[in-house]
Structures are given as structure tokens and as C-alpha cells.
Amino acid sequence: MVATSLADASATYASRGRARHFTCEHVSQTFTGDRGEVVALTDVSLAVDVNEFLCIVGPSGCGKSTLLRIIADLQTPTAGTVRFEGEHAEHRGRSGLVVQEHGTFPWLSAVDNVAFGLKLAGIPTAERRVRAMAFLERVGLAAFANHYPHELSVGMRQRLGIGRAMVGHAPLLLMDEPFGALDAQTRRHMQGELLGIWAADRRTVVFVTHDIDEAVLLGDRVVVMSGRPGRILADVPVPFARPRDLRRDAAESRALVEDIWRLLDTPPATVAR
């Protein structure tokens, strides 16, 4: 059965006993526009450990992208704070953000788009090109190295944006529905690649998706958010051993996915806080 809501982020952290990467403390976001106020997030508290793979699921409009932007320090929340811990306190801005669209620079070729991530990481020019090419190989874009983004399909552009973020060594990867635009087969491939890269070169990942199967396949933990205004409904550990084989754990993973669906389908007033 699914765990109850995350009442106290620090208590959760203490029980896991790993180094913490950052904590969102009582984060709320209200947007004020011409047509009044939109409350996007209310009182979101969340602790994320170093090298953890955290997935966030929730209905469209519940503030998932807003939360990622706040974590990336691209936006200051209306209330609450995001606190980075230890060595990460100094590197607040060093996160790789993969957005749903426009994740590439249109004026750079594919190989230069990926190399750009390495430039940010301080890798010398010659090495950048070699590593960028090796990476394009991994994501199936080697033949398109010298193409510009507008010459690629939507799915290819998305893979390129993912590649650029993954190839750099940002300690925190923030991924906003990165595989949403991909066809099913490419999506499976990219999920595998992402897990492979994460296993070989651990870093903290916060991965937003509206696909619960994807969250259970990828995450160490799934944070479930309610519809707008977004708040955390539940914080669900994913118990399956890695490397994951969800055919092996088919019954258990199905049950977990169903539990999360039930939470999302529960009318707000009846969800225990």
C-alpha cells in the first residue's frame, strides 16, 4: 500500500540516512495576472538525497514545471525556500534542466549542442567534440551530427536536448516530461539510456512525468501531486531492485501503479493529509 503524505521532509530524510542534496520547505507559488490569481503550488515540502532518482507525477496544471523552475532557481517562490545542502549549497545554479520543448539551441549543429553542455562543465575543446560524438552515438543521432535542430524531427530534437543535459556533469538533472514527445519505441530506448547513464555516473535526478508506469520504472521514489493547486498527496518508495525488470516484478509493479492511480483519482476532500 502507498505511504501517507510527506508531513515532515526532514523526518523522512533522517529515516533514510543518506546525504541530502536539497530540500524544498513549504514552497508555494501564486501567479498574479490580468485575469486574477492562479495558485500553482501550496506548501510543498520535499527532501531529495544525493544521487536519488525522484519522479514527480500529477495531473496537468498541478505545478510540476513550476516546481522544477523553482528548484532550478529560475523562479523565486511566493513563499517558502529551496535549500541546497553541503557542497551543493555553493552550486545552486549547477543543474541541467531538460524542458518539454525548445531544449536545443537552433543556431548550433547537433554535435555543438551536445558539446555546449561539456563547455559549461569546463571540458577542453578537442575533448568536447570526441565526447559529444560518442554521446550522439548513444542516443542514435551520430548520422545527424552536423544537422541543425530545424532539420531534425521533434523526437530527434528532444533526444538532442536530453543529450546536452546528460553529457554535462551537472550534479542535479531536472527533467520535465523529457520523453513526452517521443514515440513508444524511442521512449523505451531513451528510458534505458537514461538509466544506463545514471547507473554509470550517479547524480541526483528529479524527473517529472504524467506517465505513472514510467515513474515506477525509473524512480527510487514517486512523489504524487494533486490537481491545482498542486500539493503533495503521497511520497511512495519504489521497492524494485535495479537493474529493473518489470516483467519479473510485474504483479507488484502493476499494484503500485494502481495504488498511485487511485490516489490521483481520489477527490481532494477525502485524501488524508
Residues making contact with Mg ion (CB under 5 A): 65
Q: Which of 62, 174, 182, 212 binds ligand ADP (CB under 6 A)?
A: 62
Binding flag, residue 147, ligand ADP (CB under 6 A): no
Structure-derived torsion over alpha carbons of residues 114, 119, 125, 127, reported in degrees to the nearest 10: -60
Three-state helix/strand/coil letters over 210-253: CCHHHHHHHCCEEEEECCCCECEEEEEECCCCCCCCCCCCHHHH
User: Smallest distance from the beta carbon of 249 to Mg ion, in angstroms?
Assistant: 29
Q: Which of 8, 11, 14, 60 binds ligand ADP (CB under 6 A)?
A: 60
Q: What are the φ and ψ backbone dihedral angles of 152, each rounded to 5 degrees?
A: -110, 160
The one of Mg ion, ligand ADP, none whose footprint includes residue 40, by CB under 5 to 8 A per kind, is: ligand ADP
Residue in this structure with the C-alpha cell 500553482, named with its chain if needed: 40
The one of Mg ion, ligand ADP, none whose footprint includes residue 66, by CB under 5 to 8 A per kind, is: ligand ADP
The H or E element that residue 23 is part of is: strand 20-33
* Number of residues counted as binding ligand ADP (CB under 6 A): 13
The grid coordinates listed for 77 are: 517562490
Rounded Cα distance, 203 and 61, in Å: 28
Contact 50, 19 (CB under 8 A): yes
User: Smallest distance from the beta carbon of 248 to ligand ADP, in angstroms?
Assistant: 32
Q: Which of 42, 47, 49, 64 binds ligand ADP (CB under 6 A)?
A: 64
Q: Which is nearer to ligand ADP, 63 or 168 (CB)?
A: 63
User: Smallest distance from the beta carbon of 162 to Mg ion, in angstroms?
Assistant: 16
Rounded Cα distance, 215 and 72, in Å: 21
Q: Per-residue contact track with ligand ADP, 198 to 237, x per CB under 6 A?
A: ------------------------------x---------
The grid coordinates listed for 188 are: 523505451
Q: Which is nearer to ligand ADP, 33 or 267 (CB)?
A: 33
DSSP assignment of 120-184 equals: HTT--HHHHHHHHHHHHHHTT-GGGTT--GGGS-HHHHHHHHHHHHHHS--SEEEEESTTTTS-H
Q: Which is nearer to ligand ADP, 110 or 260 (CB)?
A: 260
Contact 252, 237 (CB under 8 A): no
Nearest to 235 by CA among 77, 56, 39, 68: 56
Q: Which of 27, 49, 63, 113 binds ligand ADP (CB under 6 A)?
A: 63
Q: Which of 12, 66, 186, 209 binds ligand ADP (CB under 6 A)?
A: 66
User: Smallest distance from the beta carbon of 40 to ligand ADP, in angstroms?
Assistant: 4
Q: Which is nearer to ligand ADP, 79 or 89 (CB)?
A: 79
Judged by the rule CB under 6 A, the positions of this chain that interact with ligand ADP are: 31, 33, 38, 40, 58, 60-66, 228
